[in-house]
């Protein structure tokens, strides 16, 4: 599990945050959060008309090392999936 303290708040990788909580953690304005979401720079899911942001997304924004680790894990899983698919009978 990956955690970082930002503004005396621990960001938990698997926790779910509201846009207001994310704004407070990142210390940005409401318009900045909206812009990050709209441009896809901060990924989120809409639940009941409101965005919910995973902690790993906040960590990705503030910690390039976390993003690099996630990318390596993704590529490893992708390779395994491609290998399995390539073994399927043609």
Whole-prediction pTM value?
0.64
For residue 72, the tally of other CB atoms under 10 A from its CB is: 10
Domains of the chain (ranges; CATH) run: 3-63 (1.10.1660)
- State pLDDT tens for residues 13-69: 999 999 999 999 999 999 999 999 998 889 999 999 999 999 999 988 887 775 676
DSSP 3-64: EEEETTEEEETT-EEEHHHHHHHHT--HHHHHHHHHTTSS--EEETTEEEEEHHHHHHHH-H
């Amino acid at each position: 599990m990956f955690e970082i303290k930002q503004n005396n708040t621990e960001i938990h990788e698997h926790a779910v945050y509201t846009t207001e909580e994310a704004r407070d953690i990142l210390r940005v304005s409401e318009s900045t959060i909206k812009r990050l979401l709209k441009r896809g720079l901060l990924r989120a899911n809409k639940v009941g008309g409101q965005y919910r942001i995973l902690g790993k997304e906040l960590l990705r924004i503030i910690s390039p090392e976390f993003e690099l680790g996630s990318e390596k894990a993704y590529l490893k899983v992708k390779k395994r999936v491609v290998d399995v698919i390539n073994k399927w009978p043609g």
